[in-house]
Amino acid sequence: MSALMLATQALVGPGDRVVAVTPLWPNLVEIPKILGAEVTCVELLFGRAGWTLDLDRLLHALPPSTRAVYINSPNNPTGWTLGATDQQAILAHCRRHGIWIVADDAYERLYFEGAGVAAAAPSFLDLAEPDDRIVSTNTFSKTWLMTGWRLGWIVAPPELVPDLGKLIEYNTSCAPVFIQRAGVVAVNEGDVVIAHTADRLRRARDFLQARLQRLPGIEAVAAPGAMYAFFRVEGVVDSLAFCKQLVADAGLGLAPGIAFGPEGEGFLRWCFAASEARLADGVERLQRYLTRRERARAM
């Protein structure tokens, strides 16, 4: 979170045009807004193949007057993951026009389509030259299971580093030293944990997907990355009201799709970083709730 705020403070000012690919974890749209930027959203599309990007539409939304484009891949909430070919096209376009790419890579190592366990999702950093206007932010919260430790990092070109140093000084001064030491251990010795976590999440994703598909009126496509199922429920037009009712009546807490942008309306986000027993219990609760709701609507 802090890495994203620092990167945006370094790059974006009042009136700047910023583009974000959505649905998206809301903080990423709100940070540039807090700093006075005008944020334009380019929506992913949902269909049989899951969530996809219309590349032409994105490039069209990036005229030379654009300051930065924010892309979170693998994406919270959809799991959508940007392929290397599209990355190349976006990078070429941004190089041509001097547009900054802010890549939120929080779920980079939670990618289920690559070869082998814990393969990394395609990254702009794989394509980057040292001076490219690419800022990648990352965190120990997800893959390394260090949620709440508040430790992350930024990869940025040399031109940005002096300003980032000043901004860190005026925000937090530094992460606590003992937590930095834990980060060093996590990076050097954490691969076994990452492999185990990615494998566990892949199985949880498949388990939840199979269970959800059995329920009538649910449209769900397995996510290629991250830790969420983002699925549509027939008849849900107000996802916030639905989720509030679901908590109250069924004791099941899901995130309303509308929290991630207007195109998320009608969808629900389920975090599958949980045991199979817990996921199965949740699906049963959802099923019972949907049945009761269907009966009430029929009366």
Q: Is 106 in the site for ligand PLP (CB under 6 A)?
A: yes
CB atoms closer than 10 angstroms to residue 187:
12
Q: Is 197 in the site for ligand PLP (CB under 6 A)?
A: no
Residue 123 in tokens: 């990254």
Cβ at position 226, least distance to ligand PLP in Å = 8
Under 8 Å between Cβ of 53 and 74:
no
Q: Is 266 in the site for ligand PLP (CB under 6 A)?
A: no
Instruction: State how far the Cα of 287 lies from the Cα of 299, in Å rounded to an integer.
Output: 19
H or E stretch including 272?
none
Nearer to ligand PLP, 96 or 181 (CB): 181
Cβ at position 114, least distance to ligand PLP in Å = 19
Per-residue x/- track, 48-87, ligand PLP (CB under 6 A): ------------------------x---x-----------
Among 40, 52, 88, 141, binds ligand PLP (CB under 6 A): 141
209: left (phi over 0), alpha (psi -120 to 50) or beta: alpha
Instruction: State how far the Cα of 190 lies from the Cα of 95, in Å rounded to an integer.
Output: 34
217: left (phi over 0), alpha (psi -120 to 50) or beta: left
Among 12, 16, 18, 25, binds ligand PLP (CB under 6 A): 25
Q: Is 22 in the site for ligand PLP (CB under 6 A)?
A: no
Q: Is 123 in the site for ligand PLP (CB under 6 A)?
A: no
Q: Which residues bind ligand PLP (CB under 6 A)?
A: 1, 25, 72, 76, 104, 106, 139, 141, 152
